[in-house]
Structure 1
Amino acid sequence: MRPAELNRYFADLTSLPGVGPKTAALLQKVAGPRIIDLLLTGPTGLIDRSYRPKVGEAILGRVATVTVTVTAHTPPPTGRRLIPYRILTADDTGYLTLVFFRAKREWLETRYPVGTSLTVSGTIDDYGGARQMTHPDYMLRPDHDETLPEVEPVYPLTAGLTLPTYRRAVAAALRRVAPLAEWRAPPLEGDGAPPLPDWADAVRTLHAPQSERDLSPSSPARRRLAADELLSNQLALSLIRHRRQQIAGRALPGDPTLMEGGRAALPFRLTAAQDQALAEIVADMQSPARMVRLLQGDVGSGKTMVAFFALLQAIGSGVQGALMAPTEILALQHEETLRPLCDRLGLSLVTLLGRDKGPERAAKRRGVAEGYVPLVIGTHALLSEDVVFRDLGLIVVDEQHRFGVTQRLSLQEKGRRADILVMTATPIPRSLALTTYGDMSVSQIREKPPGRKPVATRALPTTRLDEVMSAIGRAAARGDQIYWVCPLVEENDQLALTSVTERAASLADATGLDIAAVHGRMSPQEKDAVVARFARGDADVLVATTVIEVGVNTPNATIMVIEHAERFGLAQLHQLRGRVGRGDKPSSCLLLYSTGDGEQLGKTAKARLNTLRETEDGFVIAEADLALRGPGDALGTAQSGQARFRFGDLSAHKDVLEWAHQEAADIVRHDPYLDTKRGAALRTLLYLFGQDEAARRLRSG
């Protein structure tokens, strides 16, 4: 149960004075439905009203606070409501017109009669050579001047929601804030660093910034709230992991003879990094606790071979193994790689696809259900109700980010306490791995098999498109194949990017080559058919959107052209580049960028392209991608995504995250059910930052 002391924070916004259903609906759009959401949505900027010039000396376009005298009222003609109401004011340096639309004449004339002295605050602009302020933020009599705040916070707004309304709601919410039992035991701040406030003071300070410094991730209030948020994240993941370890798995001892036979069947030796990852996986499988492990490996690092030996470990223990891939073409690719090895070892392998029909499908299903097929490869077809395993012991999920959680759970339910190995070819920065996959053990393959040739990477402006087309014509004449990636399917007037369909047509006209085109709006069957035609060598060029980012293996492809590369994220560019350089021929990646109407390439886009040219290490690239991505980055908005945290900044708070990770591990080691006095405070923390599920499952497992 949520602690009773938190009810004040989890009440609906309409429980705040002055917040009715209409205002609450607007606030919910920006912050959320509850008071805690409002409290934990910090200001995005501030208005400084300390600039107090004379009217004639005020800098135009800047918020200014001036003291003036009302000299005249100029209401609009009767019936002309679109003409604004004007109040003429002045000081000893000049005139300032106050402008009001749809104003109430009687109220203004009564409230601000001629001769009244006023302190007004707002933005001063020029209109037709005269200085004016439209709808001043404040109009105060000089004797109330001290009530004018020098600095005011600015919040995200939506249509119909004004800053004064938002601030009044925040002020009402802040009156509910009360001290809570401290959950943060060891200090986070280092020598000489300012001490961090407690939670309640941090929330109050968050909403009262006095300078731009107070808005930065390094301010004490934001750093404290980031520490709380990241600790709640790490603690929730650690608790989930601990509960999972309490659920009995089963030991899979394996068969050394089968493993040795697998190595003998390979035409190469595993790298040291592959051996290390495999040793970690096998150790997990041999223990009675259930394995849930993430295998990270860069493009071409050999994850599939490691997964194959993990499957042999399961099969050698007398259980079945399943490998689930996101597309049929990737499933068939896995079959093509693994079937010769299985044949040499005398193991039956079937591939279950959605396209299987009739007696063929029935025969495959029967073999899986009766257990004489130990290794099954498939797509979502594995999740079908009519697919039953005799005894599923290991589930390998390839490109796990392409599957939803419910899909992975559906496959899990087909196995009795089955071990799970999920793979990704997208290197994940440590900070993202901790916050996203912290409930899993992680193995990394950071070494590429010998023989993988580096891909020469060049960045070229789109003005050199004709040269690129000539180059791919020469490559095709040598028998090589080419990928050409476009960011859009159809022409978009706003971005004016070349679509897949248009580019395919222009390439066919310019080169006379056989062009295939594939994009996200095609059905899976259509996509697979086009990609398969390219993989067979029946097309010279495959023009595509990012659907070819993962999985497609065409060793004969030697050139990757990425159009408008400045609009892709670094990690995505690296994944696309990994589609070439898979054979024995020299390969290249051409990054075509556009700078618009003679503008310079943006700083972030330039840094992104330079990083890609300088390194092929996906883990280095992933860290650089995280550092470069930003919500204000116009070149690459598609890659920025939504921030996972309100306060935790994975670039600015790396030390905080490491602290939270260690602290969570220590808490779970000594107080796994949060039974202590501090444990009760930590339960409060979990609820405050939306980790309700972890808090509720403390006893239920």
Structure 2
Amino acid sequence: MANDLFAIPIEQLRGVSTQKAGELHALGVSSVGDLIEYYPFRYEDYRIRPLIEVKDGEKITVEGQVATLPSLQRYGRTARLLCRVTVEGMLVTAVWFNRGFLKDQLEMGRHIHLTGKWDARRRQITVAESSFPDRGGAKTGTLQPVYSVGGSLTQAWLRKKIDEALNQYGAMIPELLPAELLDKHGLMPRREAIVRLHRPENTSEGQEARRRMVYEELFLFELKLQAYRAANRKQPDGIAHQVNNDEVRAFVSALPFTLTDAQKQIINEITYDMKRPYAMNRLLQGDVGSGKTIVSAVALYMTVRSGNQGALMVPTEILAEQHARSLSKLFEPYGIQVALLTGSLTERKRKDILASLQIGLTDIVIGTHALIQDDVVFRRLGLVVTDEQHRFGVNQRSVLRRKGLNPDVLMMTATPIPRTLAITVFGDMDVSTIKERPKGRKPILTYWVKHGMMDRVLGFIRREAELGHQTFFICPLIEESEKLDVQNAIDLHAQLRQALPELAVGLLHGRMTPAEKEAAMVEFAAGRTTVLVSTTVIEVGVDVPNATLMVVMDADRFGLSQLHQLRGRVGRSEHQSYCVLIADPKSENGQERMQAMTDTDDGFEIARRDLELRGPGDFFGTKQSGVPEFRVANLMEDFAVLEQARDDAAALTAESEFWTSPRYERLRAFLSREALFDGEPLD
């Protein structure tokens, strides 16, 4: 029965023509079930409130009597109709634009309902809608649903069709949630909740209906994840690494710095996962500069010591080259062979590395998406690490994982997000979070300045240079663009060389050859270049501890998380570091981003504000991350419900009764329709 409504074509509803059906299909509505579950995104409030409760500029609905004869004024093509109306014993001016036909209907003493914007100072309503009770059909006192529409579809037509569908087929709406969950959370029945979402009698009723459907939506989502986990962890499927705890302790003790308590805790979690015969699937998130890379290095060390190979995939060649240098130096005393595999290698060098990987002479390979080419074959891949994993699509990550027999997977991101959202976006994963700063690191001081203050910025660069420190100078474009009035890297490089003749100014951007980029970074890392003008090619992972100043030109062109990533390129030593944002934002959103950056350097707070400004789909890049699109739930508001739904789904799928009892037949049918057990593992 759960599927019956979705088997009834929308064309079977009376009054749905071929044209209307096509326009409904474009909205994702092809069946009666789709229409019934096509929920409003907001409500128009036509309930009458006392004028004293209404703030200036708010929308209001009032009931009154026509108190004066109307006057019609014309200004070119615009017609302005004015009339005084008695509301609550007060004379209020009602103004209509281009509604001259109402003049003859505004008879003295006639009752009228007005909806529009309230101007408290003038005691005036700019009328959007009006009606006369003596004609019937007044909306006063109601909440009217507002839907997304397109083409020739109107709100009135869609409301009517949804009402007809509910009246004709409402009795067929099935209950999906088991009775114990309805009782536990005090949720209204599903049929009632759907009806009330479309036809709320009052605000509290609509809120209760929404609460029910939010829980259902999140519970069904979590049920898929937990059912997958339960079904796929019945049998050992991964590599049980033979980890020698004493060797790991000795490796950590030999590091040139002391790990934070958070790093130690996460290494313990990873060690536990790697020792078990189940494939590890863990997300490691932490702010920029929090020390995720060294945690992954310990995991790579463990997999090699267990006789396996490790792979580290990163989004850019610059970052791959940097990791290859640092990890080679770290692992050299232990005889661990590290190779670099990127798209810019010569064919001969590439063949040598591929052969070494296949016969097992190379222990760890570091690279970009070049790692997932068909001809890359491992002898025994035991651990896959992806850095800045949101930069890779789900399919790219899956290809690398399939190059071994269920290797352990560790994904890392410096885009901190709330744990519940991480669980939602990244599926069936355990989540570890580093919130602690490495010892000795100071907060980065951030300033927002206008373009007219460039001389002061140049003075700041000179002062840091006198202290022996270096500066990153970032701009959005490589070359001049006619479409965007933003500073470009090539012009900026020339201008800074002229403005700072006493300093060495370098240039780095994505169109340079790999050799040119490498040379620019080597010069800067060695301190021979004082200022490096760059595009966002340096956004992720580039580590130059002596760089203490980050200047971002046209900063309002960047997203919050991207700005925070850029800021994280400095502050990587004991020296005080700074970030200067140069921007004249025209939009309120741009101003809010600049303010957020100066308010805090906490990546989790930055991520929270970025979610508020952009929403989760844009935040992660929906196509890349697979972030789900929910019809009712809001991931920023419904975290607590998501956590509860996850716990409920986990408890339910852990019971053998869930898989056999008729009580849960509808939920098992839902999982079957989702083809949960036929495809790839959730990523």
Shorter-chain TM range is: 0.7 to 0.9
* Cα 1:494–1:356 shift into 2, 3 Å: closer
- How do 1:46-445 and structure 2 match up within 5 A? 46-48=44-46, 50=48, 142=134, 144-145=136-137, 150-158=142-150, 160-175=152-167, 176-178=169-171, 179-186=173-180, 195-209=186-200, 219-246=207-234, 248-255=237-244, 258-259=247-248, 262-263=251-252, 265-445=254-434
Find the aligned partners of 2:374 and 2:327 in 1 and give their Cα distance. Answer: 26
| Letter of the 1:392 counterpart | L
Instruction: Give SS of 1:421's match.
Output: strand
Structure 2 contact 341–368 (Cα < 8 Å) conserved:
yes
Are the aligned partners of 1:290 and 1:418 in contact in 2 as well (CA < 8 Å)? yes
Q: Partner letter of residue 239 of structure 1?
A: A
Whether contact under 8 Å (1:89, 1:98) holds in the other structure is no
Alpha-carbon distance change, 699 to 488 in structure 1, aligned in 2, over 3 angstroms: closer
Segments of 5+ residues of structure 2 without an aligned counterpart are 52-56, 623-627
Give the 3 Å change call, closer, same or farther, for CA 12–357 of structure 1 in structure 2: farther
- Residue 575 (structure 1) shift: 2.3
SS in 2 for 1:594: coil
**Residue by residue, what CA displacement relative to the aligned partner does 1:197-248 show, whole Å, maximum 9, x if unpaired?**
2222122111224566677xxx212121111122122222222223332452
Aligned to 1:22: 19
Provide the aligned C-alpha RMSD in A. 4.9
> CA shift at 1:119, angstroms?
6.7
Looking at structure 1, the residues matched to 450 and 288 of structure 2 have their Cα atoms a distance apart, in angstroms, of: 26
Partner of 1:550: 540
> Pick from 613, 619, 629: which aligns with 1:629?
613
3-state SS, counterpart of residue 352 of structure 2: helix
Deviation by residue 1:62-120 (Cα, 9 ceiling, x = unmatched)? 66677889x99x9xxxxxxx98999999999999989579x9xxxx9xxx9x99x9978
Q: Following TM superposition, by how much is the alpha carbon of 1:344 offset from its aligned partner in structure 2, in angstroms?
A: 0.7
Secondary structure of 1:156's match?
coil
Report the Cα offset of residue 36 of structure 1: 4.7
Structure 1 residue 186: Cα displacement:
4.7
What secondary structure, in the 3-state scheme, does the structure 2 residue paired with 1:629 have?
helix
CA contact (8 A) 2:446 2:597 kept: no
CA contact (8 A) 1:673 1:699 kept: no
Q: How far 1:48 moved relative to its partner?
A: 1.4
Task: Tell me the CA shift for residue 419 of structure 1.
Answer: 1.4
Name the CA shift for 1:258/1:355 in 2 (closer, same or farther; >3 Å).
Answer: farther
Q: Return the alpha-carbon distance in structure 1 between the equivalents of residues 365 and 288 of structure 2.
A: 24
Gap change, CA 1:83 and 1:446, over 3 Å in 2 = closer
Show CA shifts across 1:385-420 (max 9, x none): 221111111111111111111111111121112111
The answer for the alignment partner of 2:54 in structure 1 is none
Separation (CA, whole Å) in 1 of partners of 2:422 and 2:277: 25
Give the Cα–Cα distance (whole angstroms) in 1 for the partners of residues 636 and 404 of structure 2.
40
1:79 is matched with none
Give the counterpart of 1:692 among 659, 668, 674: 674
After TM superposition, give the deviation of residue 620 of structure 1 in Å. 4.9
Q: What secondary structure does 1:659 align onto?
A: helix
The 1:323–1:205 alpha-carbon spacing in structure 2 relative to 1, beyond 3 Å, is: same
Query: Corresponding residue for 1:682?
Result: 667
- The one-letter amino acid of 1:484's match is F
Segment drifting more, 530-539 vs 307-316: 530-539
Paired residue for 1:485, among 471, 474, 496? 474
- Where structure 1 has 5 or more consecutive residues not aligned to the other structure, the ranges are 54-58, 75-81
Give, as a single letter, the amino acid of the residue that structure 1 aligns with 2:16.
V
Distance of 2:50 and 2:432 partners within structure 1? 60
Quick one: structure 1 residues 497 and 61, their matched pair in 2 at CA, closer, same or farther if it must change by over 3 Å? farther
What pairs with 1:528-607 in structure 2 (closer than 5 Å)? 531=521, 534-535=524-525, 537=527, 539-563=529-553, 565=555, 569-594=559-584, 596=586, 604-605=592-593
Could you tell me how far apart the structure 1 residues matched to 2:664 and 2:38 are?
Answer: 22
Identify the residue that residue 667 of structure 1 maps to in structure 2.
Answer: 652
Q: Distance in 2 between matches of 1:547 and 1:162?
A: 47
Q: Which amino acid aligns with 1:163?
A: Q
Q: Deviations over 1:158-184 (max 9, x none)?
A: 454422233233323433334423515
Say whether the 8 Å CA contact 1:553–1:579 is kept in structure 2.
Answer: yes
Confirm or deny: 8 A CA contact 2:312 2:387 kept in the other structure: yes
13-22 or 488-497, which moves further after superposition?
Answer: 488-497
1: CA distance, partners of 2:442 / 2:655: 49
| 1:657 equivalent among 642, 662, 669 | 642
Q: Following TM superposition, by how much is the alpha carbon of 1:254 offset from its aligned partner in structure 2, in angstroms? A: 3.0
Aligned residues: 659
**Retained in 2: the 8 A contact 1:68–1:91?**
yes
Q: TM-score, normalised by structure 1?
A: 0.78
Secondary structure in structure 1 of the residue aligned to 2:403: coil
- Alignment partners' CA distance in 2, 1:455 and 1:11: 60
Contact kept in structure 1, 2:29 and 2:38, CA below 8 Å: no
- Looking at structure 2, the residues matched to 67 and 495 of structure 1 have their Cα atoms a distance apart, in angstroms, of 55
Q: SS state of the match for residue 2, structure 2?
A: helix
Structure 1 Cα separation of the partners of residues 663 and 506 of structure 2: 62
The AA in structure 1 aligned to 2:210 is R
What is the match of residue 648 of structure 1?
A: 633
Conserved? CA contact 2:94–2:126, under 8 Å: no
Greater shift in the superposed pair: 656-665 or 179-188: 179-188
